Amino acid sequence: MSAIRFTEQPLSHWMKTTGAESEIVISSRVRIARNLKQHPFPLLATNRHLEEVQDELKEVLDDPRFQVYGEIHPIELSGLDELNKKMLVEKHLISPNLANESRNGAVFISDDESLSIMVNEEDHLRIQCLYPGFQLKEAWEKATAVDDIFEDHVNFAFDDKRGYLTSCPTNVGTGLRASVMMHLPALVLTQQINRILSAVSQIGLTVRGIYGEGSEAMGNLFQISNQITLGQSEAEIIDNLRSVVLQIIGHEKAARERLIQESRLRVTDRVMRSFGILSHAAMIDSKEAAQRLSDVRLGVDLGLIEGLTPQCLNELMVLTQPGFLYNSYDGSVEPGEMDMYRARLIREKLGKV
């Protein structure tokens, strides 16, 4: 199966819909890490072992229980060029690690792209479910159902005391990573963000950037996820994260209300200036574009600017990334011209609104 069908459009189907608290929570994700008992883990496995893992896991897709998720498309990473790999990363369908370092890696993607199953990344199997808005429980229910299907066909590496065994010790136990992508511009503008994130880190959660570990938090987007996978049940991990996210949502809403009451003109000026720059700039780098789009999104959420939808801004966040930007102009973008073409693409998109 070619990856082209998944890179033709910047927005996955699930990104075109909304969920609870979608003005603040962009998406909810649950990822489950598993390894096959009879094979060496990917770091120590030979190419033959990894080929066998890929074949065994691909056979599981024939289970009729997968039909409820639509057609599942297996894609071997070795058959993709670097551009298509980069675009799959930019859509969060594969991890940067799978794109850059995996041997005999593959990904199984559902039609609506809400289910992405990575093979031979850091672990043999990583089941990922993505939902719009604040839908952690829904993402977890889908991920665990898919996990059950695989567990009926293959033997996972499991220890009675330690739980599921993984390549990285921080994933041992449940193998569960749950996360939410949050847009928190008001907490940044009111200078509360550092205090909030510091408190989050002290209760077993971690904060990362838009592409996970090692990535920068651009455009006031923060990924909040559990850090502990051992010693807690899956339900406890989900409930703890939900509880903290609800508190952060409350703080962000209060900060937005404060901005409107105390600094409406200043916030409106910031939003309109950013919209003006995006609409007319001749050059813009990815970091500034993300910040300006964040300002405009806040303006849309606060009712300060009309004619734009969150989906349009979501699309621009993806389209302005290097892979999709290069692809949008049929590969004619030279390295030194990236900022010029990014500005041009944004002007064209906003001009159609």
Q: Is 212 annotated as a binding residue?
A: yes
- 3-state DSSP call for residue 299? helix
Q: Is 338 annotated as a binding residue?
A: no
Q: How many residues does the chain have?
A: 353
Q: Is 76 annotated as a binding residue?
A: no
Q: Is 30 annotated as a binding residue?
A: yes
Q: Is 209 annotated as a binding residue?
A: yes
Q: Is 29 annotated as a binding residue?
A: yes
Q: Is 19 annotated as a binding residue?
A: no
Q: Is 334 annotated as a binding residue?
A: no
Q: Is 60 annotated as a binding residue?
A: no
Q: Is 180 annotated as a binding residue?
A: yes
Contacts 24+ apart (CB under 8 A), 249-256: 249/21, 249/24, 249/25, 249/134, 249/182, 251/187, 251/192, 251/196, 252/24, 252/182, 252/184, 252/186, 252/187, 253/24, 255/186, 255/187, 255/189, 255/190, 255/192, 256/186, 256/298, 256/301, 256/302
Q: Is 28 annotated as a binding residue?
A: yes
Q: Is 102 annotated as a binding residue?
A: no
Element (H, E) at 220: none
Q: Is 179 annotated as a binding residue?
A: yes
Whole-angstrom Cα Rg for the chain:
21
Q: Is 92 annotated as a binding residue?
A: yes
Q: Whole-angstrom Cα distance, residue 28 to residue 38?
A: 32
* Residue that is written with structure tokens 């720059």 in the block: 277
Q: Is 341 annotated as a binding residue?
A: no
Q: Is 178 annotated as a binding residue?
A: yes
Per-residue tokens: 28: 């909810």
Q: Is 27 annotated as a binding residue?
A: yes
Q: Is 292 annotated as a binding residue?
A: no
Is residue 116 within 8 Å of residue 128, measured between CB atoms?
Answer: yes
Q: Which residues are annotated as a binding site for ATP?
A: 27-31, 92, 126, 177-181, 208-213
Q: Which residues are annotated as a binding site?
A: 27-31, 92, 126, 177-181, 208-213
